Every structure is written in structure tokens, then in C-alpha cells.
Amino acid sequence: MKQLSLDRRIQTLFPVALASLLVLGTARLVLDHLKSNHSRDFRLYSRPRSHEKHKLPVVISPEDRVAEGCNVFEGKWVWDNVSYPLYTEESCPFLVKQVTCQRNGRPDSFYKNWRWQPNECNLPRFDPLKLLQMLRGKRLMFVGDSVQRAQFESMVCLVQSVIPVGKKSLQRVPPMKIFKIEEFDASIEYYWAPFIVESNSDHATNHTVLKRSVKLDSIAKHRKEWEGVDILVFESYVWWMYKPLINATYGSPDDVKEYNVTTAYRLALETWANWMDSKLNPHTQKVFFMSMSPTHLWSWEWKPGSDGNCFNESHPIQGPFWGTGSNLEIMEILHDTLQQLKFNVTLLNITQLSEFRKDAHTTIYGERKGKLLTKEQRSDPNNFADCIHWCLPGVPDTWNEILYAYLLKNYQNFL
Ligand SMILES: *[C@@H]1O[C@H](CO)[C@@H](O)[C@H](O)[C@H]1NC(C)=O
Ligand SMILES: *[C@@H]1O[C@H](CO)[C@@H](O)[C@H](O)[C@H]1NC(C)=O
Ligand SMILES: *[C@@H]1O[C@H](CO)[C@@H](O)[C@H](O)[C@H]1NC(C)=O
Ligand SMILES: *[C@@H]1O[C@H](CO)[C@@H](O)[C@H](O)[C@H]1NC(C)=O
Ligand SMILES: *[C@@H]1O[C@H](CO)[C@@H](O)[C@H](O)[C@H]1NC(C)=O
Ligand SMILES: *[C@@H]1O[C@H](CO)[C@@H](O)[C@H](O)[C@H]1NC(C)=O
Ligand SMILES: *[C@@H]1O[C@H](CO)[C@@H](O)[C@H](O)[C@H]1NC(C)=O
Ligand SMILES: *[C@@H]1O[C@H](CO)[C@@H](O)[C@H](O)[C@H]1NC(C)=O
């Protein structure tokens, strides 16, 4: 009985039309191939350590430390059009079209002006220079799907304004994107791996959500690129949730079977956990995991009796709210896996705070299969609004402010 209702929940999570949102499509495919050029030749990790001698201690003030015992994930969104947004679409040249809602025609802009206010403390003010000082000589990498890519882009936009032109660059090295900050010998990177473990959707642009097949016990292809990274930020959810069953292999690579999504998710996380316990160094490497990013596909969940989605929403939800799209069994699996790990992974539980933000998705002002929507598609938001991805500037900036707060909290100067 219980399983049945779970299956129905997963079943209804992604209407068929949404499959196309998770896929970049041929337009983007061609574009990316052009842009990536001969990027395989691009030498990435030959890091001269010449900047080491300029290393200065990071000055951390009392306001930079989140009060002991404060849960930054409990709080509310407050109107703040003085400090927010932290950057603009115009000031950040690194945003992709998928997230620049205003430029794509979104008429309202309230969604950019909300600040997350924890109940019992304040988040430190985001200081790009301080973050770069903490990242000096280091690599920060975001791993996951297109939601995680937005968090990567947000981070790039949050820091890029303090770096002079010519001292920063964004390179595509599929399945990665790499933002390098020369002066700090640092990089902020993104790695496409929608299931974390290996799958037939690992190609950065040519991938499908309809014919997914996941290798639940394989991570070798990816982990090589992750093991040298100083700070890793993982995320994986929405690609699992297309149907209640998922084709996967475990053991024999030729033996494809249908697994319950929950079983498959648990096995994949175990593979990931075992890798970390055996290969990462807890003294020099830091790992974060972002909890699921919520979707707002059904307006009846916050507005009983209505029949729409997140389109035309201009304000956050006030008061308690948890949408059915954020699967609690998956949350429990995540919780259990992290508990059992020897390696210390910090869960950034951003689901609840993002649940309130029904107003902040790209809706009809994003892309589908790599293209902006046509006029006809825009006139049919019930079928074409994207209620998975977020506009930038927007909610992913807050996730990064929280990540920044944790990095500050754990930072120690080695003088
Ligand atoms: C691709 O590489 C060639 C030579 O390496 C260069 O001349 C050309 O400008 C590059 N194209 C793009 C789009 O980066
Ligand atoms: C900021 O918000 C306040 C209160 O809603 C409003 O009166 C003011 O005009 C806004 N300022 C700007 C610059 O939008
Ligand atoms: C995309 O991948 C599929 C299956 O892996 C392959 O058959 C197809 O040729 C690929 N398309 C392009 C444009 O590379
Ligand atoms: C698994 O793969 C088979 C064969 O391609 C297909 O018929 C089936 O629908 C797939 N199952 C799921 C859950 O996608
Ligand atoms: C899926 O879950 C149901 C109920 O828990 C169980 O009976 C079934 O064996 C599971 N299937 C697989 C492939 O794990
Ligand atoms: C959006 O909502 C407002 C009321 O909040 C309504 O007046 C307007 O007609 C709606 N627009 C569309 C296109 O549904
Ligand atoms: C994340 O927070 C929600 C409530 O905000 C809670 O229900 C859930 O258990 C938390 N997840 C984990 C893995 O601790
Ligand atoms: C793990 O992280 C927590 C919170 O940052 C810290 O209190 C704890 O001491 C760490 N444990 C180990 C074994 O490093």
C-alpha cells in the first residue's frame, strides 16, 4: 500500500512534457560543440604555485561567523530591495540564456529582491574577496545536473565582479565548465553528472531522460576528475524522479533491470559513499551535499482549487509549506547514507527554504531543448512553464550564501 502511494507520487512528479526540460537538445548540442573547440588540449591542472608567497591570512570578523547552534535553514524570506540582488543579469557576462529571465522577457522583478533571514542569527554578508582568499590555490567544484549548474553560475557571478577583465576565464571542457581566477590560482568548476554515478546520460549535451540507464555501482569514470578537488559540492535528485522505476545495472554491466527509484538511489549513494571513504582525505578535502531543489508544478498545493503551476507567481509562500515533489523517502535515504559515512559530508538542507519560492522559477522565460520558447508556447504556460529551474539572480544565490557561511565557519588560517 505504502509503496503504491509512493509510486504514484513519483509517477506524477514529472509530466511527460518536462522530459524535454532536462535535455539540452540539438540546438544547444551544436552550439556547445562549436564553443568547446579543442578544449581537450587545454591543460588544466598544471598549477604554478608562484602565488603562494603572496598568501595573506583571511580576516574573519565576528559577523562572519554564524552563531553556534543557529540553524540557518530555518527562517523566512524578507523583502530587501536595498541589498538584493547581489549582482544583475547585465553585470555578469557568464550567465547562460536558460536563467536570464528578465532578458528573456519576464515582466516582474520582485523575485530578485528577497533575502533569506534565519530565525536565530544572520547570514554573513557575502564578500567575494574573502571567498577568493579562502579559495586561494584551491579548486571548488559543483557536481550534478542542470539545477546544480545554476548554482555554479550563481557562484561565478557572485565573485566575478571583483576580478579585473583578463584575469578571469570560463572554459568548457565537457563534461566540465571551469572558471579560473588567475590571480588567486583558484578555480570554480562544474561537472555534469546527473546521477553522480555513471549513466548513459553522462554526455554533457547529448543525453536523454526518457531512456535513462544508470550504473549503480560504477563511479570510476567520474571520480578521477573529482579526487584532486579541494571542495566538492554534490547534488542529484530530479533525474531520478521521472518514473517510479528506473533501468539500471548493478554487478554485471550487461544485466539491465528495472529498479525501484528508492532502491536505486540508495545503491548509488552507497557507491558514492564507499568511494569517498576510501579515496578522499578528510584533512585536506571538504565535501558538501545539497538537498533536493523543490519543484512547483501544481498550484493547488499552495492555492487550493487552482489548476495552474508556478507561472505568474510573484511572491513567496508565507507560512508552512512542503510540496509533494520533494520526496521524503529520498530525503531519508540521504540522511541514512550521510550518517553511516566515515567521511564528514556537510548536508546543506536547502529544500525547505526553497519550497517557499514558487515565484522564482524560470517559467516561460527559460529554454526548452536549448531554445527560448516560441510565442505560441509562451501563451500556453500550463504545458510549457518550467517550474524546476530557477532564474538568476535568484534562489541559488542564497544556497551559495549559505555555502559561503559554512566555508567561513570551517576556515582556519594556517599562518
Ligand atoms: C578554435 O581553435 C582555433 C585554433 O586552436 C582558434 O583559431 C579558434 O578561434 C577557436 N574557436 C573558438 C570558437 O574558440
Ligand atoms: C523598495 O521597496 C519599497 C517598499 O516596497 C518601495 O517603496 C521602494 O520604492 C522600492 N525601491 C526600489 C528602488 O525599488
Ligand atoms: C547522441 O547519442 C546517441 C546514443 O548514444 C547516438 O546514437 C547519437 O549519434 C548521438 N548524437 C550526436 C549528435 O552525437
Ligand atoms: C527499461 O528498458 C526497457 C527496454 O529498453 C524499456 O522497455 C522499459 O520501458 C524501460 N523501463 C523504464 C522504467 O524506463
Ligand atoms: C520495489 O518495491 C516493492 C515494494 O517495496 C518491492 O515489492 C519490489 O520487490 C521492489 N522492486 C525492486 C526491483 O526492488
Ligand atoms: C497573473 O495574475 C494576475 C493576478 O495576480 C492576473 O491579473 C493576471 O491576469 C495573470 N496573468 C496571466 C497571464 O495569467
Ligand atoms: C531537511 O530538512 C527537512 C525540514 O526542513 C527535514 O524534514 C529533513 O529530514 C531534512 N533532511 C535531512 C537529510 O536531514
Ligand atoms: C564533522 O563535522 C562536524 C561539523 O562541522 C564537526 O563538529 C565534527 O567534529 C566533524 N567530525 C570529524 C570526524 O571531523
Distance 247 CA to ligand 4 centre (A): 6
Q: What is the pLDDT of residue 26?
A: 41
- Count of structural domains, the chain: 2
**Residue 297 domain-assigned (yes or no):** yes
Cis status, amide bond into 175, omega within 30 of 0:
yes
Tell me if residue 30 falls in helix, strand or coil.
Answer: helix
For residues 152 and 9, state if they share a domain: no
Closest residue by CA, ligand 3 atom 2: 206
Q: What is the pLDDT of residue 23?
A: 56
Closest of 171, 177, 240, 228 to residue 204, by C-alpha: 177
**Residue 254 domain-assigned (yes or no):** yes
Task: Note down the domain range covering 29.
Answer: 1-36
Question: Which tops the pLDDT comparison, 334 or 39?
Answer: 334
Closest of 141, 144, 142, 149 to residue 96, by C-alpha: 149
- Check if 389 is active-site: yes
* CB of 259 sitting under 6 A from ligand 5: yes
Distance 42 CA to ligand 3 centre (A): 24
Distance 13 CA to ligand 6 centre (A): 25
For residues 147 and 1, state if they share a domain: no
Q: What is the 3-state secondary structure (H, E, C) of 394-411?
A: CHHHHHHHHHHHHHHHHC
For residues 113 and 163, state if they share a domain: yes
* CB of 76 sitting under 6 A from ligand 4: no
Backbone angles phi, psi at 37, to 5 degrees: 50, -135
Beta strands 345-348; 286-290: pairing state? parallel
**Residue 211 domain-assigned (yes or no):** yes
- Check if 386 is active-site: yes
For residues 32 and 180, state if they share a domain: no
**Residue 43 domain-assigned (yes or no):** no
For residues 137 and 3, state if they share a domain: no
For residues 71 and 4, state if they share a domain: no
Distance 267 CA to ligand 6 centre (A): 45
CB 402 within 8 A of CB 352: no
For residues 292 and 166, state if they share a domain: yes
**Residue 280 domain-assigned (yes or no):** yes
Using one digit for the tens of pLDDT, what is the confidence trace for 345-376? 999 999 999 999 999 999 999 988 788 999 99
**Residue 298 domain-assigned (yes or no):** yes
Spatial neighbors of 303 by CB under 8 A, at least 6 apart, are: none
The closest-lying atom of ligand 3 relative to the alpha carbon of residue 206 is: 1
**Residue 44 domain-assigned (yes or no):** no
Across the strands, what pairs with 199? Answer: 214
Question: Which tops the pLDDT comparison, 144 or 5?
Answer: 144
- Check if 207 is active-site: no
Q: What is the pLDDT of residue 22?
A: 63
For residues 74 and 6, state if they share a domain: no
For residues 200 and 279, state if they share a domain: yes
* CB of 291 sitting under 6 A from ligand 7: yes
Question: Which tops the pLDDT comparison, 357 or 9?
Answer: 357
For residues 261 and 339, state if they share a domain: yes
Using one digit for the tens of pLDDT, what is the confidence trace for 300-330? 999 999 999 999 999 999 989 999 999 999 9
For residues 227 and 178, state if they share a domain: yes
Using one digit for the tens of pLDDT, what is the confidence trace for 42-90? 333 334 444 454 567 788 888 888 988 999 999 999 999 999 999 999 9
Closest residue by CA, ligand 1 atom 6: 37
Read off the C-alpha cell for 223.
571520480
For residues 124 and 259, state if they share a domain: yes
**Residue 57 domain-assigned (yes or no):** yes
